[in-house]
Chain A
Amino acid sequence: GEDVEQSLFLSVREGDSSVINCTYTDSSSTYLYWYKQEPGAGLQLLTYIFSNMDMKQDQRLTVLLNKKDKHLSLRIADTQTGDSAIYFCAETPGVQRALTFGSGTRLQVQP
């Protein structure tokens, strides 16, 4: 079945860039998403990319997709303490199909 993997933890200093990585196994993945979850809250959609794209930039966020290696990354520029949260990578093969999530990467931003 489909599998999405992420590293569990990342620690950066405030002002640095953060790069969160994700690998997936489903070659039919069409839509790939990044979600953010703060303590006690639901999931906030940060950004998404379609499989026919290599890169997408949205303000401080840059998503890179290497479809050949099935590797997705999220770069957060100028990381702030408010960026401390758990970040989930998710994929789906089609619109309104089930999302398969990674286990989440906990980002800790040190002042």
Chain B
Amino acid sequence: KAGVTQTPRYLIKTRGQQVTLSCSPISGHRSVSWYQQTPGQGLQFLFEYFSETQRNKGNFPGRFSGRQFSNSRSEMNVSTLELGDSALYLCASSSATGDGYTFGSGTRLTVV
């Protein structure tokens, strides 16, 4: 069974640009969540999608957005990048049973 796939693995962007990250969940998982990991703030929840609808949202500015497609694949977008957006962005998928969230390897974004 394939795991959660995130692309790309690494990205370098310039301040002011925008970026799109992609996540393919485990087959059959309809919930996809996104987390930001930084040394200073740790792991913080961005948002969660289920059946193409955003169900939960963390405390991030509107520059952070996402969407989910009918095949459960998800993308997140960050516009007008700031230096502080440099982080490891992790995607997780889950089934409806509460037996855990499976994370991808992450996309490491560096903003210069």
Number of interface residues of A (CB under 8 A): 24
Number of interface residues of B (CB under 8 A): 27
Binding site for B on A (CB under 8 A): 30-31, 33, 35, 41-45, 48, 50, 88, 90, 94-104
Q: How far is the CA of A101 from the CA of B45 in the complex (A)?
A: 9
Q: Are A41 and B105 in contact (CB under 8 A)?
A: yes
Supposing A88-B43, A96-B55, A98-B48 touch, asked if A42 and B105 sit within 8 A by C-beta, the answer is: yes
Residues of B within 8 A of A99 (CB): 33, 35, 43, 45, 92, 101
Supposing A42-B90, A101-B42 touch, asked if A96 and B102 sit within 8 A by C-beta, the answer is: no
Residues of B within 8 A of A45 (CB): 100-103
Residues of A within 8 A of B106 (CB): 41-42
Residues of A within 8 A of B103 (CB): 35, 42-45
Secondary structure class of chain B's binding surface, majority of residues: strand
Contact digits for B72-112, partner A, Cβ 8 Å, 1 yes 0 no: 00000000000000000010101011111111111000000
Min C-beta distance of A100 to chain B, whole Å:
8
Binding site for A on B (CB under 8 A): 4, 6, 31, 33, 35, 42-43, 45, 48, 50, 55-56, 58, 90, 92, 94, 96-106
Min C-beta distance of A34 to chain B, whole Å:
10
Q: Assuming A41-B105, A99-B33, what are 12 further A-B pairs, CB within 8 angstroms?
A: A31-B98, A33-B100, A42-B105, A42-B106, A48-B98, A95-B94, A95-B98, A97-B48, A101-B43, A102-B42, A103-B42, A104-B42
Supposing A43-B90, A96-B48, A97-B56 touch, asked if A48 and B42 sit within 8 A by C-beta, the answer is: no
